Structure 1
Amino acid sequence: MARSTPARVAVAAGAVVLLVAGLGACSSAGDDEHPEKRSFTLEGTTLTVDSDDSALEIVAADGHAGGRIEVTRWFDGSVVAGGEPETTWDMEDGDRLVLRENCSGFIADCSTKHRIEVPHGVTVKVEDGDGSVRASGFRDALTVRTGDGSVHVTDTTGPLDLRTGDGSVRVEDATGPLRMHTNDGSIRADVDSRQVRARTGDGSVRLELGTVPDLVESRSGDGSVTIALPRATYRVATETGDGAVDVSVPHDDASGHVVSARTGDGKVTVRTAN
């Protein structure tokens, strides 16, 4: 016998209730207690990390054997039903670590996190399509490119070149040459670098230097620019389209210590560090 229209409606409503209940009870794997670990052999002294969609933590660690890259992966998202995303991680051409996530099924949040440990003496280049990047401990050059995500680097002595399409950039305890760029986000740096370049399309810039620099260049399309410097005499150039300018450091156009601070809209401050 065919079901009546009310019966069919009741069955459909029950299915919807079950689905909603399932969505409400989806499990979270943010506290993954059993991460996956793998080890890869690196050929040469340059590593490229190629990730499509993952938060990355990259550490230059003492005690790691030369030529060995240790990777730990956590699933940091949540699922409604089924397993975690399908993950591939391979070392291509001996020097390119490729990380991919294939999200399918009832996955509410496909977030993953990778911790990558490299020995000292390795130059690292990061290419992340969508995800934050944290790095620390580098004595060698580090380059970061991420399309969407924040970048935070600490405790480095090598050159840094950091860029994100959408996100903040923060650097602490660095001594090597420093270049930072974001299209949309703030920039913060508390460093002892002698060369610092910072540029953001939309966001504030705040730089504090513990060593007298040779060159500081800072620019924002829309946001305040603040530079705090050790006591010395500087050659200072400032510009703002709409905002006040406050320069309180000793300045001399013949100085070899060059500081440039520009913004399209916002206050510019160049002062002596406290």
Structure 2
Amino acid sequence: MTMPARAPRVRPAAGALLTVAVLASCAPGGGSEREERGFGPVGDRLTIAVDRGDLDVRPSDVAEVEVTRWLGGWPSFGAETEAAWELVGDRLEMGTGCGPLSLGRCDVRYEVLVPRDVALTVEGGGAQVTAAGFDAALEIDSENGAVRVEDVSGPLTLRSDNGELRGSGVRSARVAVESRSGEIHLSFAAAPARVVAAAENGAVTIELPDTAYDVTTATDNGAVRSDVAQDPGSPHAVTVRTDNGAIDVRTAAGA
């Protein structure tokens, strides 16, 4: 199984609503500068694109998108670090201005609150993406970094070129997960209608509530284990494929 190449999705933010030249927090030994910004209003869909830095995103009773950013470190040779964030239509782009060849240190992380009924897509460039509490549709695509989701119930799609994909307390009826390099671990709190998990290089573990499933597994290299009750006519279908990695489909502990 060879997954098609995907072009990088994160673009540098341009024409930002707010551009900040961070000096004090970029001095050696300096702490992170904390900034808050509201963006909106937004419609029923939102895409968040980040070029680097950890992102934690959650739904909340807010009227607009609320972002808290911590930026720190120091640039190379006394240069300024420019960080930008901009909402254009239904796309929020957040960038640091630190290129991949930057000789200095550039640390950033984000916490984002979005209105509860907004369907969310996240495009992560690097570092970890975490999301929790979503009932609306959630899609996360990471180029280089782990993805972790908790307590979600809407349609769920996770992808990573390089990084672990992990979900816990998942109640989504339909789930699609794809990893090029990294393990997949999904733990369900409710029996899903349809799960498709594919890994090019990494083990896949699926933990399910105690009921019967229509299970399909395939691997080119790796052990396969499944201890859930199986029924080809079950309304709960689970398909797992790997190129190089073990497959474990099991009943969740305490189920």
Give your verdict on TM over 0.5. yes
Calculate the TM-score normalised by the size of structure 2.
0.75
> Is 1:146 matched with 2:145?
no
Q: Which residue of 2 aligns with 1:11?
A: none
- For residues 38 and 112 of structure 1, what CA distance do their matches in structure 2 show? 15
Question: Do the aligned partners of 1:189 and 1:206 also contact (CA within 8 Å) in 2?
Answer: yes
Q: Any unmatched runs of 5+ in structure 1?
A: 1-25, 124-140
Question: Do the aligned partners of 1:90 and 1:97 also contact (CA within 8 Å) in 2?
Answer: yes
Map residues 120-139 of structure 1 onto 2, 5 A cutoff. Answer: 120-121=116-117, 123=118
Deviation at 1:236, TM superposition (A): 0.9
Aligned residues: 225
Deviation at 1:209, TM superposition (A): 0.8
Question: Do the aligned partners of 2:41 and 2:65 also contact (CA within 8 Å) in 1?
Answer: yes
Map residues 29-44 of structure 1 onto 2, 5 A cutoff. Answer: 29-32=30-33, 35-42=34-41, 44=43
Aligned-residue CA RMSD (Å): 2.9
Question: Do the aligned partners of 1:247 and 1:270 also contact (CA within 8 Å) in 2?
Answer: yes
Q: Which of residues 166, 169, 189 is equivalent to 1:210?
A: 189
The one-letter code of the counterpart of 1:142 is L
Deviation at 1:220, TM superposition (A): 0.8
> Is 1:189 matched with 2:189?
no
Deviation at 1:173, TM superposition (A): 1.0
Deviation at 1:82, TM superposition (A): 5.4
Bigger Rg, structure 1 or 2: 1
Map residues 1-274 of structure 1 onto 2, 5 A cutoff. Answer: 27-32=28-33, 35-42=34-41, 44-62=43-61, 64=62, 66=63, 68-79=64-75, 85-92=81-88, 96-102=91-97, 108-121=104-117, 123=118, 141-190=119-168, 191-274=170-253
Question: Do the aligned partners of 2:55 and 2:128 also contact (CA within 8 Å) in 1?
Answer: no
Deviation at 1:263, TM superposition (A): 0.9
Question: Do the aligned partners of 2:126 and 2:143 also contact (CA within 8 Å) in 1?
Answer: yes
Secondary structure of the residue that 1:158 maps to in structure 2?
coil
Secondary structure of the residue that 2:109 maps to in structure 1?
strand
Change (3 A) 1:270 1:46: closer
- For residues 79 and 226 of structure 2, what CA distance do their matches in structure 1 show? 58
Deviation at 1:81, TM superposition (A): 7.3
Q: Which residue of 1 aligns with 2:6?
A: none
Calculate the TM-score normalised by the size of structure 1.
0.70
Change (3 A) 1:51 1:206: closer
Question: Do the aligned partners of 1:27 and 1:80 also contact (CA within 8 Å) in 2?
Answer: no
- For residues 205 and 85 of structure 2, what CA distance do their matches in structure 1 show? 42
Q: Any unmatched runs of 5+ in structure 2?
A: 1-26
- For residues 231 and 39 of structure 2, what CA distance do their matches in structure 1 show? 54
Deviation at 1:90, TM superposition (A): 4.3
